[in-house]
């Protein structure tokens, strides 16, 4: 069965492919729907907020209970100085508007990476926030793995640590209408230890809101997301930035939802848009029963990650 997103304004026709795991014999008749969103942020905060509002309204129209927005959904500045100067505290005007939007649409929002102002005036923090349908900020995760890459052969230098303060806490999964959500951001997906920690803390859904570069996205995006889903036996939801943001920055896109069996069940390709997927927690339970990885883990030979995360 294929569920296709309807076309609206400039939104892409996004393809939703329901997972067919006959061996699991899962019914998806009354499961919650979630929306994974894809957008092209710029340095214009107002333009970005309107894009988020449109995506959330579309998610609401399709009966999703949660909309997942990508990293840098508030803005993607043209340079590091502006990225820091434009940052706001989480009680500032931009987050206030997001909270009002969640309350107005009666939806939960996962805002996958807003620029949070910090005491160090030369830096910001990359913060993934969850807002419930009452407009309350219920969780904040600050990115712990910063993307630093300097290739002297090509002259490409991308150093997130130049202007971002790394987080120092793994946040406990958040209970939501779709299940227990583990919070992370983009580059975090390359570190499976974090995903295992979140699973051991009770996560049923892992989130990787991203602004993946075009080159690395083409090579690694899907395989990393599917690997995180398969090895943790969680749903993976990865909202994404897409397209050209400015003269220096292009993002890969391909926002997707992966089920615990590793099947891509919803995806946007290379345009702004929304894809909707059912979250069936019984699939999580059945995959973990038929493939009982945790019972076979040799923690006698290598350390369990649970104590470090609790």
Tell me the pLDDT tens digit for each residue of 231-263.
999 999 999 999 999 998 999 999 999 999 999
pLDDT at 13: 43
Contacts (Cβ under 8 Å, ≥6 apart) of 293: 231, 233
Spatial distance between the Cα atoms of 111 and 259, rounded to a whole number of angstroms: 21
Q: Does the residue 233 lie in any domain?
A: yes
Q: Does the residue 27 lie in any domain?
A: yes
| pLDDT exceeds cutoff 90 at 12 | no
Q: What pLDDT, in 10s, does the model give residues 163-204? A: 999 999 999 999 999 999 999 999 999 999 999 999 999 999
pLDDT at 201: 95
Q: Does the residue 246 lie in any domain?
A: yes
Catalytic residue set: 71, 143, 186
Domains contained in the chain, number: 1
pLDDT at 24: 52
Q: Does the residue 299 lie in any domain?
A: no
pLDDT at 302: 87
Q: What is the DSSP code string of 101-114?
A: HHHHHT-EEEEEEE
Q: Does the residue 278 lie in any domain?
A: yes
pLDDT at 149: 85
Q: Does the residue 43 lie in any domain?
A: yes
CB 76, CB 42: distance < 8 Å: yes
pLDDT at 304: 77
Residue 149: which of 242, 239, 215 has the closest Cα? 215
Residue 238 CB neighbours (<10 A)? 31
Instruction: State residue 196 phi and psi, 5-degree precision.
Output: -65, -40
CB 32, CB 276: distance < 8 Å: no
Spatial distance between the Cα atoms of 124 and 116, rounded to a whole number of angstroms: 6
Instruction: Tell how far CA 245 is from the center of its chain.
Output: 19
Whether this prediction's pTM lies above 0.95 is answered by: no
Instruction: Tell how far CA 23 is from the center of its chain.
Output: 29
CB 90, CB 137: distance < 8 Å: yes
Strand order in the sheet with 15-17: 2-4, 15-17, 264-267, 256-258, 235-238, 205-207, 179-182, 174-176
Spatial distance between the Cα atoms of 55 and 177, rounded to a whole number of angstroms: 19
Kind plus residue range of the DSSP H or E element containing 175: strand 174-176
**Domain holding 281: CATH number?**
3.60.110.10
Region 84-91 average pLDDT:
98
pLDDT at 152: 81
Region 7-30 average pLDDT:
45
Q: Does the residue 240 lie in any domain?
A: yes
Residue 300 CB neighbours (<10 A)? 7
Domain enclosing residue 252, as ranges:
2-294+304-309
Q: Could you tell me which residue, 186 or 151, shows the higher pLDDT? A: 186
Residue 275 CB neighbours (<10 A)? 30
């Amino acid at each position: 069965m294929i569920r296709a997103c309807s076309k609206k304004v400039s939104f892409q026709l996004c393809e939703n492919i329901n997972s067919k795991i006959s061996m699991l014999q899962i019914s998806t008749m009354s499961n919650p729907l979630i929306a994974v969103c894809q957008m092209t942020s710029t340095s214009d905060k107002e333009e970005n907020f309107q894009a988020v509002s449109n995506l959330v309204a579309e998610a609401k129209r399709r009966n999703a209970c949660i909309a997942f927005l990508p990293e840098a959904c508030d803005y993607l500045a043209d340079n590091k100085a502006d990225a820091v100067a434009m940052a706001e505290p989480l009680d500032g005007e931009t987050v206030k508007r997001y909270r009002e939007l969640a309350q107005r649409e009666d939806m939960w929002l996962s805002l996958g990476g807003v620029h949070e102002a910090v005491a160090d005036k030369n830096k910001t923090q990359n913060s993934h926030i969850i807002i419930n349908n009452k407009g309350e900020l219920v969780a904040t995760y600050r990115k712990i793995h910063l993307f630093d890459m300097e290739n002297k052969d090509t002259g490409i230098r991308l150093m997130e640590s130049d202007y971002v303060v790394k987080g120092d806490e793994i946040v406990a999964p958040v209970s939501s209408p779709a299940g227990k959500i583990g919070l992370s951001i983009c580059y975090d997906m390359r570190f499976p230890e974090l995903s295992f920690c979140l699973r051991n803390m009770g996560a049923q859904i892992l989130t990787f809101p991203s602004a993946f570069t075009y080159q690395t996205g083409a090579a690694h995006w899907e395989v990393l997301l599917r690997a995180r889903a398969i090895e943790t036996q969680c749903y993976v939801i990865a909202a994404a930035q897409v397209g050209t943001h400015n003269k220096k920055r292009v993002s890969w896109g391909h926002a997707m939802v992966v089920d615990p069996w590793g099947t891509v069940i919803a995806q946007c390709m290379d345009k702004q848009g929304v894809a909707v997927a059912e979250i069936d927690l019984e699939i999580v339970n059945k995959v973990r029963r038929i493939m009982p990885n945790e019972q076979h883990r040799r923690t006698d030979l290598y350390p369990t990650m649970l104590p470090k995360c609790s």
